[in-house]
Chain A
């Protein structure tokens, strides 16, 4: 699987290259600033990109803006964004095109290499991975806000895991219930959030997005 890596800190970039190579990824390009990233994403068209938010030249949200720009040229390009902080505002912007294949994680999740690599793979497969910190904020808020208030506790739990990018099977395993029950919960969630049944794979993305916008 070909990866484009964007990280301006040499040590961290080097470490991530080693880590990803150890798990059998091929590094297509490793860049250190925003413009180079857009260029690399558009020309290399990797299977997945791992991108740091804060990079030269502005050291602000360079990486984020590069991702949004590249995804306008290459719709649905899978990108896992890493950040020192996770902000709902940025999560909303990343998900806004509804195409999925987006991950947004705290940088320190890299320490747990197995679950980090797992997240990269899920994003590459078109899944959506949100950091638990974003999810917990969303859900804390959700209790008081419509239409989130309409969800049962169990449904909220399911949505939280769904937003972390897990499949129905994985959620079932985690909550120790059958996969069939999960399917029922998800369809209830979609219904309560007013997401039409259209055979669209990305209703999961839309569900998380609906929460972000609620």
Chain B
């Protein structure tokens, strides 16, 4: 019990040392970079430095978040906005500057970088400073005569260290013991405060949390609505389709059994009709299941399911994929239906001949682009199914971007955060 307590206190003191000695220089570098950005903003040069500075500050903040979680067990969520894709050249870079400049999280990172070398360092340094000074007290006691009279003329706390005060030689060591004890005593509390201080500026603000909750509530409502509509459609299809055919089949069989002796020929005809009904019911059930969860998706996952859809498409669809392993089933399903809906859209509206589908997983993002050589002019605000895809993706925090100038080409980009699971590989490319 005492043992763990001691270890905890010792590591807290060392932790304080880490924050002060190891982090001080990187923090000051961040401070310097930020000063340059703000100082040179007037002549525009500062703006150019903004994206790398933002990235550096983010790295610093992430390091703090990670360590605080590992050492103090306090989770600090990241408040950053999802980064869109930036184009090449200066225009893309300007977009990047705007993106970071308008992200409140960047300015909070900046405020943290400005204040942490004072506030954070004070909190972190106090325990280790007490311990260090305590040790210094021992040194003075041990080397009293060497120190005195060699330009060393000082006080150690209330002890005046000089000739003729040898009687007080033990005092610095005694005081040192007290200081070390105090340092160890307050270390956990101080580091706790240090962690809390870190959270003040590095965690999302209540407004951000609220916005996030609003988003989640909205997408959940959308997901529930979509699900309910889907269930209604399935129920209706079953009721009007397979169920009706099975009833008809039963009636035909019933009538046939009654006619069997009187009119075998008519009975034969009814039996044939019953068989046709069963075949139709089967085929309708098949289509229904395809609409709920396509067999290839269940068997092979996203990539092959998309390739199978590409094969069925009347258009010339080329699929290129760099996706290793299977993704989470609900995510695969969402991505698959998003792609097939996009493909249906192209077939219906775009007047295109060629379609290119590119899927890749990188940095925890599943990125899918569907491009066509059609007439363009697709518009998110004019319905056309794209909003539906967007809602479908939003449930998974995914986003959809559309570029479709009049005259084409149309490029639909979809991004979904993901983690790939099982090692089963299905990376391939092919022509359909």
Contacts and interface: CB of A to CB of B under 8 A. Distances in A.
Interface string B268-310: 0000000100110010001001100001101110001001100
- In order of increasing CB-CB distance, the 3 nearest A-B pairs are A60-B299, A61-B299, A89-B308
Interface stretch (A17-25, A136-144, A176-184, A193-201): A136-144
Interface string A135-157: 00100110011000000000000
B275 A111 contact: yes
Interface stretch (A26-34, A70-78, A80-88, A114-122): A80-88
A105 B358 CA distance: 31
A89 B316 contact: no
B275 A85 contact: no
29 contacts: A54-B299, A60-B299, A60-B300, A61-B300, A84-B295, A85-B289, A85-B295, A87-B295, A87-B296, A87-B308, A87-B311, A88-B308, A89-B304, A89-B308, A89-B311, A90-B296, A92-B311, A108-B279, A111-B275, A111-B278, A111-B279, A140-B314, A141-B312, A141-B313, A141-B314, A144-B314, A144-B315, A145-B316, A212-B311
Contacts, number: 41
A2 B313 CA distance: 40
B431 interface: yes
A174 interface: no
A192 interface: no
Contacts of B290: 85
B316 A88 contact: no
Interface residues of B, number: 22
A189 to B, nearest CB: 21
Interface of B is mostly: helix
Nearest to A60: B299
A66 to B, nearest CB: 13
Given A85-B286, A85-B289, A85-B290, 11 more contacts: A54-B299, A84-B295, A85-B295, A89-B307, A90-B296, A92-B311, A108-B282, A111-B275, A111-B279, A137-B312, A141-B312
B314 A213 contact: no
Contacts of A92: 311
A54 B431 CA distance: 26
Nearest to A133: B283
A92 B431 CA distance: 12
A163 to B, nearest CB: 15
Contacts of B282: 108
Contacts of A89: 296, 304, 307-308, 311
Contacts of A85: 286, 289-290, 295
Interface in A78-133: 84-85, 87-90, 92, 108, 111
